[in-house]
């Protein structure tokens, strides 16, 4: 957790650098080699199983053509991880927060999946990204003290771009793990996703 906090501080203070990175390598390295950055997302072997749960949810959603009811979503590992308490490992969320409304988070993720499938990785189009934020369910968090907040991504710097940090021998995605899981799935299943994706290095 301290490693992640230092990384974020460096990211906020540093100058960004845009990189084209191999999709497969970025996904696999983020999943398999970054337990030090996000231990709460990892199993006993240090694998970020939460990332794979997002990939599996994408698979289920698209295989069912978006026809999922509450019972369907609540049977998934994705639901299990986004509803897990802060003390649980593995779980979804951040180092010090969890999703305060899991149902809204599921709805937001579904809109992201549809958007990436239909429109691709629209990292240059600020108006499109802002419209997504206006149409999607909000990102709502609750911290360890029970305080809740709604995160506003409209107009945020590098919104829609995978942000990465150098970690060991390669790069790990710092922000954009939902997007990474969907892009990887689309790439694996013949979607119009290039082998390399644009990222912004923030640490």
pLDDT digits (tens, 9 = 90+) for 78-94: 999 999 999 999 999 99
pLDDT at 11: 46
CA distance 71 to 57: 13
- What are the extents of the domains in the chain? 2-201
For residue 202, give the DSSP letter. -
Helix, strand or coil, per DSSP, at residue 171? strand
Helix, strand or coil, per DSSP, at residue 122? coil
Please tell me the pTM assigned to this model.
Answer: 0.89
Cα–Cα distances in angstroms (integers) from residue 62 to residues 1, 81, 111, 163, in the given order: 34, 20, 12, 25
- Per the DSSP assignment, residues forming a β-bridge with 197 are 21
Cα–Cα distances in angstroms (integers) from residue 108 to residues 16, 115, 163, in the given order: 27, 11, 20
CA distance 4 to 145: 20
- Residues of the chain under the 70 pLDDT cut: 1-16, 124
pLDDT at 193: 81
């Amino acid at each position: 957790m301290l490693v992640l906090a230092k990384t974020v501080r460096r990211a906020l203070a540093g100058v960004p650098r845009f990189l084209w990175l191999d999709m497969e390598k970025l996904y696999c390295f983020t999943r398999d080699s970054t337990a030090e950055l996000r231990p709460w997302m990892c199993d006993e072997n240090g694998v970020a199983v939460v990332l794979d749960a997002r990939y599996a949810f994408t698979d289920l959603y698209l295989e069912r053509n978006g026809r999922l009811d509450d019972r369907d979503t609540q049977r998934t590992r994705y639901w299990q991880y986004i509803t897990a308490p802060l003390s649980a490992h593995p779980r979804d969320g951040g180092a010090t927060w969890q999703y305060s409304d899991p149902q809204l988070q599921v709805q937001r993720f579904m809109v992201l999946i549809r958007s990436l499938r239909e429109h691709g990785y629209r990292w240059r189009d600020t108006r499109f990204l802002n419209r997504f934020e206006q149409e999607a369910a909000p990102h709502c968090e609750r911290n360890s003290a029970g305080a809740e907040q709604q995160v506003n991504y409209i107009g945020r710097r590098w919104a829609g771009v995978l942000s990465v940090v150098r970690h060991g021998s390669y790069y790990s995605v710092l922000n954009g793990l939902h997007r990474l899981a969907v892009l990887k799935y689309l790439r694996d299943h013949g979607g119009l996703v290039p082998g390399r994706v644009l990222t912004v290095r923030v640490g």
